[in-house]
Amino acid sequence: MKETTEDTIKKAETSIQKKYHKQLFSPFARACKTYRLIEEGDHIAVCISGGKDSMLMAKLFQEIQRHRKVNFELTFLVMDPGYVDANRALIESNAAALGIPVTIFESTIFDTVDNIDRNPCYLCARMRRGYLYSKAKELGCNKIALGHHYDDVIETILMGMLYGGQVQSMMPKLHSTNFEGMELIRPMYFIRESDICAWRDYNNLRFLQCACHFTETCSTLNDDGSSNSKRLEIKNLIAELKKTNPFVESNIFKSVENVNLDTVIEYKQKGVRHNFLEEY
């Protein structure tokens, strides 16, 4: 018997409410409470790229809104930066199949980045965020929500240390520096990537992985580790360290919660550099 759209929506939502409640909804709600990500009267633009993380985030927002502990509005925002037709269609079909009423707008980011030789991915990410802030504000939103998860956080911490020579974290929320009154929130901060993949596979869903002009050949594949990025190197390093230290992931996360400034030689705060000799 062929599964209907209603069946797909019901299965996805029930799996969040029951089978994966502890792994997905509980940490989502905990992050929202811990970091005060959702507040009375908010209008949140849930930014959907078409990947597994942002699609699940949209469903989690729908679920937490049903609890009605705080009154807030949602707009499910999709930016088309220049997808090929098949990728655009996949996003639209997945949104329909999951009962996510998306608002789609176009930009020319891919065409712009195509002409950049150095750090095109960094530029693309910056431009995407700017477009999302701008459209969200135009639609009356005061926050944009991105689907970064726990693994993204700890990988970013290590990448900063090993490749950037700095100690910093991917913050759970930020004030926008270019769009007054706007904030960025990351409500999937405590959710593990493996649990997102388990939910995806349980529901037989297929999402975009990477859809830019540089990597369109992997646009609809699952996460098979076929990339050659620095982030993948860090991911593999953490997996290797975990073999001998099962607590390595939580220790990386906790390291930016337990910074002892008495033992830090130099640090920056609000763009100003400070040295331990100032108070020695």
Could you give the angle at the alpha carbon of 235 between the alpha carbons of 84 and 15, nearest 5°? 70
User: Does residue 235 sit within a domain?
Assistant: no
- The DSSP element (H or E) to which 183 belongs, if any, is strand 183-185
Does residue 131 sit within a domain? Answer: yes
Domain count, the chain: 1
Largest CA distance in the chain: 74
- Whether 95 maps to a domain, the answer reads yes
Conformational region of residue 204, where left means phi above 0, alpha means psi within -120 to 50, and beta covers everything else: left
Asked if the structure places residue 60 within a domain, the reply is yes
Identify which has the larger pLDDT, 186 or 123.
186
CATH number at residue 27: 3.40.50.620
pLDDT band of residue 3 (cuts 50, 70, 90) is low
- pLDDT per residue over 15-27, tens digit each? 999 999 999 999 9
User: Is residue 214 one of the residues assigned to a domain?
Assistant: yes
Mean pLDDT of 172-181: 95
Residue 259 lies in a domain: no
273 within a domain of the structure (yes/no): no
What span, in angstroms and rounded, lies between the C-alpha atoms of 238 and 149? 15
In a domain, 242, yes or no: no
pTM value surpassing 0.75? yes
pLDDT in tens, 77-105: 999 888 888 989 999 999 999 999 999 99
What is the domain extent for residue 187? Answer: 5-222
